[in-house]
Structure 1
């Protein structure tokens, strides 16, 4: 029972702990160093992992954010490993399994001084979701096709806004793409199975 719902449990616990971390955040944002508390439309999630808040105060919510990220890492890792069992192509199944294992390690690094290295996990997650999207687009899961495309678009929109300095919009889009990714991951985890993909052909041959 626990194994079946492990992804849901990990991501749910992660969200709860992240909300706790946000509620304990002293204050300060990219736009106002003297603001009080954590603003979901003003602060990046990464602010929760700093030892000190932007306003200079000690951040008591950091430990909860780190633990939340650990559960988030586990949830995404388990998801990719489970999806690898649904993909009939041995080659792509191994790649998804690899992404799952590496994700558990690298996503957690986002909450440490090695967070720059942790960005590798974001690239791997995008690649993994892109790979799964290709299979979904070839399947008969029409609603999930829309969900996959929408999720990837929110990722790209965030990187575009952040890269070009539209930080006010990027802060909001960060929450949007995280929410869309979590919803997509849960939908793929619990509403797809091996039979959905076994007849898919690649390069004119059955995978």
Structure 2
């Protein structure tokens, strides 16, 4: 029972690792087509976005077998991140208002993520970016108060790469680099999340 309780504390990390595995597996099932070449075969790590895996058909028009797997992956990731935001707020933030800001903005940001593959892609991307920036600002504040400078700097880098990701996505001259920036954002933010999950649990070991 004690072992299970301890394991539950690391659900965000477990969920992120599962997501990464699912992401890689889904990419192998993607039929093809990217922003660089609509007739390409397979998933192009340099030119395909994560949301391409969640389309009903590949950009080349072929039925996308990766869709249900990719959607499962994003649901696991979102669930894991919501748990993480609540854990983080409870462990690191003492101010009641900021604790609520982290929980609410974090949940709002992550809840919009599954809809980025729908017809509301651009709206949901904006909601995700704005809410994500708010929650990260709240987290940076908490990390500063808890004297965790390295994790605070990583949080600032997360904000910068979110902004960079949007800048590239909405700039016709730079959109070709968008998929690479998106993957960089994934790596940085998920690494930061895992690090904080480990730190918060180590901090609360009796």
Runs of 4+ residues deviating >6 angstroms: none
Q: In 2 relative to 1, CA 115–169 (structure 1 residues): closer, same or farther, beyond 3 Å?
A: closer
Distance 2:168 2:123 in 1: 22
1:129-185: CA deviation from partner (whole Å, max 9, x where unpaired): 121112323442122122112222111111112222211211100000111000111
Q: Write out aligned runs for 1:16-165 (5 A).
A: 16-86=21-91, 87-103=93-109, 105-116=111-122, 118-119=124-125, 120-165=127-172
Distance 2:118 2:177 in 1: 25
Aligned-residue RMSD, C-alpha: 2.2
How far off its partner does 1:43 sit? 0.6
Distance 1:162 1:155 in 2: 11
Distance 2:74 2:130 in 1: 17
Worse-matched range after superposition: 117-126 or 23-32: 117-126
Worse-matched range after superposition: 113-122 or 183-192: 113-122
Unaligned runs of 5+ residues in structure 2 are: 1-5
The residue number in structure 2 matching 1:186 is 194
Unaligned runs of 5+ residues in structure 1 are: 196-207
Worse-matched range after superposition: 70-79 or 152-161: 152-161
Q: In 2 relative to 1, CA 42–51 (structure 1 residues): closer, same or farther, beyond 3 Å?
A: same
How far off its partner does 1:105 sit? 3.2
Q: In 2 relative to 1, CA 149–103 (structure 1 residues): closer, same or farther, beyond 3 Å?
A: closer
Query: How many residues are treated as equivalent by the alignment?
Result: 196
Distance 2:8 2:106 in 1: 16
Distance 1:111 1:55 in 2: 16
Distance 1:96 1:36 in 2: 41
Q: In 2 relative to 1, CA 127–114 (structure 1 residues): closer, same or farther, beyond 3 Å?
A: same
User: Whose helix fraction is larger, Structure 1's or Structure 2's?
Assistant: 2
Q: In 2 relative to 1, CA 65–8 (structure 1 residues): closer, same or farther, beyond 3 Å?
A: same
Q: In 2 relative to 1, CA 116–167 (structure 1 residues): closer, same or farther, beyond 3 Å?
A: closer
Worse-matched range after superposition: 64-73 or 139-148: 139-148
The residue number in structure 2 matching 1:200 is none
Worse-matched range after superposition: 160-169 or 129-138: 129-138
Distance 2:24 2:198 in 1: 25
Q: What TM-score does the superposition give when structure 1 sets the normalisation length?
A: 0.85
Distance 1:34 1:113 in 2: 22
Worse-matched range after superposition: 85-94 or 120-129: 120-129
